Amino acid sequence: MKLPELKSKFKNRYAIRIIAGVLVVTLVATGSSVYSVNAAKAGSAATETVEETEVSEEAEDTEDAESSLKDLLDNGSKVSEKEIGKEETVYVIADNTGKEQKIIVSDHLINNDDKDTLEDASTLKDIENVKGDETFTQSGNKVTWQADGNDIFYQGTSESELPVTQKLTYYLDGKEVTPEELAGKSGEVTIRFDYTNNQKVTAKIDGKDEDIYVPFMAVSGMILGDEFSDIEVENGKVISDGSNNVVVGYALPGLKESLNVKDDDFDGDVTIPDYVEVKAKVENFKLDTTMTVVMNATNFISADSDNDTSKLDEVFDTLADAMDQLTDGSAELADGVDTLKSKMGDFKDGVGTLQSGVHAYTDGAGKIASGITQLSDSIPTLSNGVGTLNSSAATIADGVELLDNTLKTSFTDQEKAAMQTQASSAVDAQAEAIKNRASAAVDAQAEAIKNQASSTVDAQAEAIRSQASAVVDAQAEAIKTQAEAVVDGQAEAIKNQATQQVTAKFDNGKYDEVKNQAAQEIGANMSSMTGALTSSADVQTLINGAAFATIAAQYPTETAAEIQTNHAAEIAAAQQQIAAQFGNTITTAMGGAVDTLAQGVANAAKQAALEAAGEAALGGAKIAAGEAAVTGAKLAAGEAAVTGAKEAAGEAAVTGAKIAAGEAAVTGAKAAAGTAAVSAAEQTKSTMAASIEQQSSGGYSLVTGARALANGTQSLADAVPALTSGVAQLKNGSAELVSNNQKLNDGVNALSDGTDAVIDGVDQLSDGAHQLADGIVTFNEEGIEKILNSYHGDIEPLMDRIQAVLDAGEDYQTYTDIADGVNGSIKFIYKTDAVKED
């Protein structure tokens, strides 16, 4: 059994009180004046210990209990003024009948001279250093320790016979029962301690060999709870601590035999007991433990006496003085307890304040823990939301930067050619319509063109007739040439007349008709381009990001995930509004381009018509004039020639005008549409780039703001693991904080509930202290004084036997063995098992 385990066997604080308190009672057993003084001090301290710790728990810290036990026992074991070199304590673990089960010996070698080695002797087995790392060698019983100037503490086991054995016997209502039968029973219970002294020597008394027992003093005690009442102790006392009863009894086994006396040899109530008996009424019997301390009585005798009984007169005088001191001390104790009693009202108020404070603390701790738990449960959602936000913000930033770079990049020649080709294709798709509109314009001027041609012919009618009739066949080619020359002479007039007619036609509504028709065709193509642009993925991503940023600015205290969840409808509405504004911007920009293109088409058509009409009229006049001249000449009918020339010239002029006007209109529309498409697209890109790079009042544009948003969400995402870890630690810490709330509340409530009991206990303690003071006076008068009287009357003749007893005690210094020339002290501590129901 290791030292900590051994200490745990003797950790009961009440048992230590028993040992201390019983030293007062044992004054009657020894004949030592020196021990009387120390016992008086120890008795006073024991009484104070009981009073001061009456509400403490039974099980105290093992180290504290061992230290207290050692200090209290040292009051007796070190009274002797001899220089002790070996202190030995024997721990006896016994069952509840007193039968030993295990013996453990603890030795302390005192290195008074700081020696490097210490010589010792021991019969112990399994020797183990329990407080240091010093080593030893052993030869037989001789043990040599490498002390290095230190004290040595070691322990071991022994199977040697104990010098004193004890037996516990239990009775219920006068009938002997086993401990197991007694557990849980009710009735009148008797517990008897019988002690047997096994250690004796032979001495010469009046010339005869007599058996003299080593003088051992056995002190036994136990704690009896409130299930015990009407407690009586034979050879002992009952000390109440307010809630429990401390029973102590003493015996001097073998002393009567050594002195060859009987109880009736003494006057009054003085006896030399060899047993202790406790009687009480019990409900549901149980007994935690009993403890017995057995000590060599000669340890309490001063070295100055040299064990000389001739000095007993001085010893008994000192005993009387010590009793006076004990009487005075008990009176002071009673006064001190009265002071404690007067302070109990303040104590109760303080406990009430403590109770309120503890309840407020535990309520607050519980609320903190609940809030932290909710925060911890939300962390996964926050982490996922931050991840989504971070990914989306990066995508938005990348998209905005791509769009910005795209808008700032000029169209390549290939892109311009593609747009012009697309515009030309759109005009080609309307070519027939454009030609038909040009043909219709010429048809509207057909009569004017014919009249112009007819007038030209009329102006040359006579010449035509003359030539036709004179030289038709022979001069046909000459006739034509001449007719053409005549027409050439009138070219400007013919052209002017044709262009006047075309101008008049356009001024009377044809220009607006061509322009509106061109605007409709070009506008239809522009709408398809606008729709394709606004529906592109990049533009849509930009619109979504701008909508989210607009709404987020209105709720600066909310997280991105909260905004996405709580304001989805507002974000959707913002997306629609921004998309509409974007479409309007493009439509406005392209609207100007459509008007410009349509106006160009109309101008081109008008110009083409003017040019075609003049040339057509002139060409027709030439052809008509030549052919008419030849025909008229052939028919020899001047009038017929003129009439034919008129008709031919009119139809030819109209047909030529139609062809020229159609081709010119298509060519002009293509050129104007291509140029307008490229110009409009470049203007649109420039406008959009300026819009997304324009800085707001906060100093951010859509491009820089989207990138700042992406950087911020990345920092937020990077901080989430640390936040998660911190919240987890905070949650664990709060859980640990509140885990003992209930115990704390229960404890302070129990303290509050027990306050009145404490106050009642102090009242009882005060009464007990006064009773103790009165009892010590009685004890002195009826005990000590009678002992002194007995000594002076009957005991003095027994001095030879007493001297033999003292000599036997002086020689017994160790249970195991001791080195030559070393003084030792020895004490035995017996602890029995509990008696309880299973």
Helix axes 344-408, 638-693, angle to 10 degrees: 150
Per the prediction, the chain carries an average pLDDT of 77
In terms of average pLDDT, the best of 249-258, 336-345, 542-551, 646-655 is: 249-258
State the pLDDT at residue 212.
94
- Write down which residue in 629, 662, 693 finishes a domain: 693
- 377 and 232 both lie in a single domain: no
CA atoms within 13 A on the CB side of 494: 31
- 158 and 22 both lie in a single domain: yes
- 722 and 777 both lie in a single domain: no
Q: Is residue 535 part of a domain?
A: yes
Which has more confidence, 707 or 815?
Answer: 815
- Write down which residue in 705, 739, 773 finishes a domain: 739
User: What residues have CB less than 8 Å from 759, skipping those under 6 apart?
Assistant: 344, 347, 348
608 pLDDT above the threshold of 50: yes
502 pLDDT above the threshold of 90: no
Which has more confidence, 704 or 149?
Answer: 149
> What is the rounded average pLDDT of the residues 704-711?
78
Angle at 308 between CA 304 and CA 313, to 5 degrees: 90
Structure tokens given for 488: 């050439």
3-class secondary structure for 500-516?
Answer: HHHHHHHHHHHHHHHHH
State the pLDDT at residue 270.
67
State the pLDDT at residue 82.
67
Burial class (CB in 10 A: 0-12, 13-18, 19+), 532: exposed
State the pLDDT at residue 81.
55
Phi, psi of 92 (to 5 degrees): -115, 115
pLDDT category, 172, cuts 50, 70, 90? very high
Q: Is residue 11 part of a domain?
A: yes
> What is the rounded average pLDDT of the residues 469-495?
78
Q: Is residue 702 part of a domain?
A: no
CA atoms within 13 A on the CB side of 612: 26
State the pLDDT at residue 426.
76
pLDDT tens digit sequence for 297-356: 776 554 444 555 555 556 667 777 777 777 787 787 778 778 877 877 887 788 888 878
Phi, psi of 133 (to 5 degrees): -120, 20
pLDDT category, 738, cuts 50, 70, 90? confident
Q: Is residue 669 part of a domain?
A: yes
pLDDT category, 766, cuts 50, 70, 90? confident
> What is the rounded average pLDDT of the residues 530-558?
73
State the pLDDT at residue 671.
75
Q: Is residue 413 part of a domain?
A: no
CB 420 within 8 A of CB 677: yes
E strands present in 151-304? 152-157, 164-172, 175-177, 187-197, 200-205, 208-213, 216-224, 228-234, 236-240, 245-251, 275-282, 290-296
Judged by DSSP in three states, 85 sits in coil
Judged by DSSP in three states, 637 sits in coil
CB 281 within 8 A of CB 188: yes
State the pLDDT at residue 74.
45
The pTM for the full model equals 0.41
- The DSSP bridge partners found for residue 177 are 170
Judged by DSSP in three states, 466 sits in helix
CA–CA gap between residue 189 and residue 774 (Å, rounded): 29
Structure tokens given for 533: 């642009």
Other CB atoms within 10 Å distance of the CB of residue 202: 11
3-class secondary structure for 8-50?
Answer: HHCCEHHHHHHHHHHHHHHHHCCCCHHHHHHHHHHHHHHHHHH
Which has more confidence, 88 or 575?
Answer: 88
State the pLDDT at residue 44.
35
User: What residues have CB less than 8 Å from 365, skipping those under 6 apart?
Assistant: 734, 737, 738, 741
State the pLDDT at residue 792.
59
In terms of average pLDDT, the best of 456-465, 523-532, 589-598 is: 456-465
- What separation in angstroms does the CA of 441 have from each of 295, 427, 433, 434, 601? 148, 19, 12, 11, 15
Q: How far apart are the first and last CA of the chain?
A: 25
- 442 and 326 both lie in a single domain: no
Tell me the residue length of the chain.
Answer: 838
- 195 and 336 both lie in a single domain: yes
CB 575 within 8 A of CB 547: yes
CB 806 within 8 A of CB 298: yes
Q: Is residue 39 part of a domain?
A: yes
State the pLDDT at residue 59.
37
**b (16+ CB within 10 A) / e for 20-44:** bbbbbbbbbbbbbbbbbbbbbbbbb
Helix (H) or strand (E) holding 758: helix 741-779
Which has more confidence, 61 or 525?
Answer: 525
Q: What is the DSSP letter of 59?
A: B
Structure tokens given for 289: 């433990």
CA–CA gap between residue 440 and residue 289 (Å, rounded): 134
- 236 and 373 both lie in a single domain: no
CA–CA gap between residue 118 and residue 109 (Å, rounded): 8
- The DSSP bridge partners found for residue 100 are 94
- 172 and 187 both lie in a single domain: yes
Structure tokens given for 814: 């160790």
In terms of average pLDDT, the best of 226-235, 454-463, 608-617, 753-762 is: 226-235
CB 589 within 8 A of CB 687: yes
- 679 and 555 both lie in a single domain: yes
User: What residues have CB less than 8 Å from 337, skipping those under 6 apart?
Assistant: 51, 762, 765, 766, 769
> What is the rounded average pLDDT of the residues 697-703?
75
7 pLDDT above the threshold of 50: no
- What separation in angstroms does the CA of 28 have from each of 21, 310, 327, 331, 787? 14, 19, 16, 21, 7
Judged by DSSP in three states, 214 sits in coil
Picking from 294-308, 454-468, 483-497, which range would have the lowest pLDDT averaged per residue? 294-308
- 653 and 723 both lie in a single domain: no
Helix (H) or strand (E) holding 108: strand 100-109
Which has more confidence, 515 or 572?
Answer: 572
User: What residues have CB less than 8 Å from 190, skipping those under 6 apart?
Assistant: 170, 171, 174, 277, 278, 279
- Write down which residue in 661, 693, 725 finishes a domain: 693
Domain range spanning residue 630? Answer: 430-693
731 pLDDT above the threshold of 90: no
Phi, psi of 61 (to 5 degrees): -55, 135
State the pLDDT at residue 794.
53
pLDDT tens digit sequence for 263-295: 777 665 667 899 999 999 999 999 999 999 999
- 55 and 105 both lie in a single domain: yes
CB 106 within 8 A of CB 53: no
What is the share, in percent, of the chain residues with pLDDT greater than 90?
24
- 206 and 297 both lie in a single domain: yes
Q: Is residue 838 part of a domain?
A: no
State the pLDDT at residue 310.
54
pLDDT tens digit sequence for 771-828: 877 877 787 777 677 666 665 555 555 677 888 888 888 889 899 999 998 999 899 9
State the pLDDT at residue 115.
94
CA atoms 222, 225, 226, 227: torsion sign: negative
Which has more confidence, 836 or 723?
Answer: 836
Q: Is residue 76 part of a domain?
A: yes
State the pLDDT at residue 461.
78
pLDDT tens digit sequence for 121-145: 999 999 999 999 999 999 999 999 9
State the pLDDT at residue 791.
58
pLDDT tens digit sequence for 30-52: 333 322 233 333 333 333 333 33
- Of 90, 85, 96, 62, residue with least CA distance to 157: 90
Which has more confidence, 214 or 398?
Answer: 214
> What is the rounded average pLDDT of the residues 708-737?
80
71 pLDDT above the threshold of 70: no
pLDDT category, 689, cuts 50, 70, 90? confident
Q: What order of strands is seen across the sheet that includes strand 117-121?
A: 117-121, 142-146, 136-139
Which has more confidence, 732 or 644?
Answer: 732
Residue type, 835: V
Which has more confidence, 317 or 78?
Answer: 317
| Residue found under tokens 């060409």 | 619
Distance of alpha carbon 623 from the chain centroid: 107
State the pLDDT at residue 789.
67
> What is the rounded average pLDDT of the residues 546-555?
79
Domain tally for the chain?
A: 3
- What separation in angstroms does the CA of 675 have from each of 512, 529, 567, 682, 684? 21, 16, 46, 11, 14
- Concatenated DSSP letters for 277-338? EEEEEESS--B--EEEEEEEGGGGS-GGGTT-GGGHHHHHHHHHHHHHHHHHHHHHHHHHHH
- 297 and 261 both lie in a single domain: yes
